[in-house]
Structure 1
Amino acid sequence: MERMKPKISLYYIVQVGGWLCYYFVYCLLAYMGSGHVSFKLYFAHFVEAILGLMMTQMIRKKVLQRHILEKKIAIQSVNVLLLTVSFALVYAIVYSVLSIIFGLHSPNSNISFFNYFLLQWMYSFVILLIWSLLYFLYHYVEKNNKDELDKVQLASTIKDLELNTIKAHVNPHFMFNALNSIRALVDENPERARMAITELSNILRSSMQADKKKTTTLREELSIVKDYLALERIRFEDRLNVDFQVEEDLLGQSIPPMTLQTLVENAIKHGISRSVEGGMIKVSASSIDTRWQIQVENTGKLDLAKEPKGFGIISTKDRLRLLYGEKASFVLQDLPGNKVVATMIIPLNS
Structure 2
Amino acid sequence: MSSRRISTYWWCQIGGWMGYALMTLFFAYTYNRLEWLTVEKTLLNVVVGIGVTHLLRHFIIAGEWMKRSFDRVWGILLAAVVLSSLVYSVLINTIFTILHVQGRTSFSLPQRILLFSVDFLPFLFTWILIYYVWHILENNRKQQLESLRLESLVKELELKTIKSHINPHFIFNALNSIRALVDENPGRARTAITELSNLLRSSMQTEKMETVPLEKELAIVRDYLALEKIRFEERLKVEMDIDENTLEEPVPVMMLQTLAENAIKHGISKRMAGGVIRIRSYFNGDRHELVVQNTGHLNGHARDEGFGLMSTISRLSILYGPKANFEIRDVKEDTVEAKISIPVAAL
Under a length normalisation based on structure 2, what TM-score does the superposition of the two structures give? Answer: 0.54
Q: Do structure 1's residue 349 and structure 2's residue 345 form an aligned pair?
A: yes
Question: Structure 1 residues 148, 341: closer, same or farther in 2, change over 3 A?
Answer: farther
Q: Is the 8 A contact 2:174 2:227 kept in 1?
A: no
Q: CA deviation at 1:207?
A: 3.4
SS across alignment from 2:327: strand
Q: Deviations over 1:186-234 (max 9, x none)?
A: 3xxx4x6554332111222233455411111111111111111111111
Find the aligned partners of 2:147 and 2:324 in 1 and give their Cα distance.
16
Is the Cα–Cα contact under 8 Å of residues 333 and 340 in structure 1 kept in the other structure? yes
- 1:8-42: CA deviations, max 9, x gaps? xxxxxxxxxxxxxxxxxxxxxxxxxxxxxxxxxxx
CA distance in 2, matches of 1:327, 1:306: 21
Residue deviations 1:255-284, cap 9 Å, x none? Answer: 111100000000000000000111110000
Q: Quick one: which of 271, 280, 286 aligns to 1:284?
A: 280
SS at match of 2:304: helix
Quickly say closer, same or farther: Cα 1:168–1:194, change in 2 above 3 A: closer
- Partner of 1:302 in structure 2? 298
Q: Matched residues in 2 for 1:144 and 1:332: separation?
A: 37
Q: What does residue 232 of structure 2 align with?
A: 236
In 2: Cα distance, 1:286 partner to 1:263 partner:
17
Larger CA deviation: 150-159 vs 210-219:
150-159
Q: Distance in 1 between matches of 2:145 and 2:241?
A: 37
Change (3 A) 1:146 1:250: farther
> Aligned partner of 1:181: which letter?
L
Q: CA deviation at 1:304?
A: 6.0
Query: Alpha carbons of 1:301 and 1:146: their partners in 2 closer, same or farther (altered >3 Å)?
Result: farther
What residue identity is the alignment partner of 1:246?
Answer: I
CA distance in 2, matches of 1:208, 1:300: 32
Alpha-carbon distance change, 317 to 148 in structure 1, aligned in 2, over 3 angstroms: farther
Q: CA deviation at 1:154?
A: 1.9
Structure 2 alignment gaps of length 5 or more: 1-143
Structure-2 residue corresponding to 1:166: 167
Query: Structure 2 CA distance, aligned partners of 1:289 and 1:194?
Result: 45
Deviation of 1:287 after TM superposition, in Å, equals 0.3
Structure 2 CA distance for aligned equivalents of residues 341 and 310 of structure 1: 16
Q: Secondary structure at the match of 1:170?
A: helix
Counterparts in 2 of 1:150 and 1:243: CA distance versus 1, 3 Å: farther
Identity across aligned pairs (percent)? 40
Q: Give the Cα–Cα distance (whole angstroms) in 2 for the partners of residues 155 and 203 of structure 1.
A: 24
User: What is the deviation of 1:323?
Assistant: 1.0
Q: Which secondary structure state, in structure 1, belongs to the residue aligned with residue 336 of structure 2?
A: strand
Aligned to 1:274: 270
* Residue in 1 that maps onto 2:175: 175
Whichever residue aligns with residue 328 of structure 2, its letter is L
Q: Provide structure 1 residue ranges, at least 5 long, that are not aligned to the other structure.
A: 1-142
Separation of aligned partners in 2, 1:334 and 1:199 = 31
CA contact (8 A) 1:240 1:278 kept: yes
What is the root-mean-square deviation in Å for CA atoms of aligned residues? 2.7
* TM-score with structure 1 setting the length: 0.53
Output one character per residue of 1:319-349: Cα deviation in whole Å (capped at 9) or x when no partner: 1111112221111111122110000011112
Do the aligned partners of residues 194 and 158 (structure 1) sit closer, same or farther apart at CA in structure 2, a change above 3 Å counting?
same
Q: Flag the structure with larger Rg.
A: 2
Letter in 2 for 1:168: H
- Count residues in correspondence: 205
Q: What residue identity is the alignment partner of 2:242?
A: V
Match of 2:209 among 208, 213, 237: 213
Classify the secondary structure of the residue corresponding to 1:199. helix
Contact 1:246 1:286 in 2 (8 A): yes
Q: 1:239 to 1:144 in 2, by over 3 A?
A: farther
- Equivalent residue for 1:265? 261
Deviations 1:37-88 (A, max 9, x none): xxxxxxxxxxxxxxxxxxxxxxxxxxxxxxxxxxxxxxxxxxxxxxxxxxxx
Structure 2: distance between partners of 1:293 and 1:158: 22
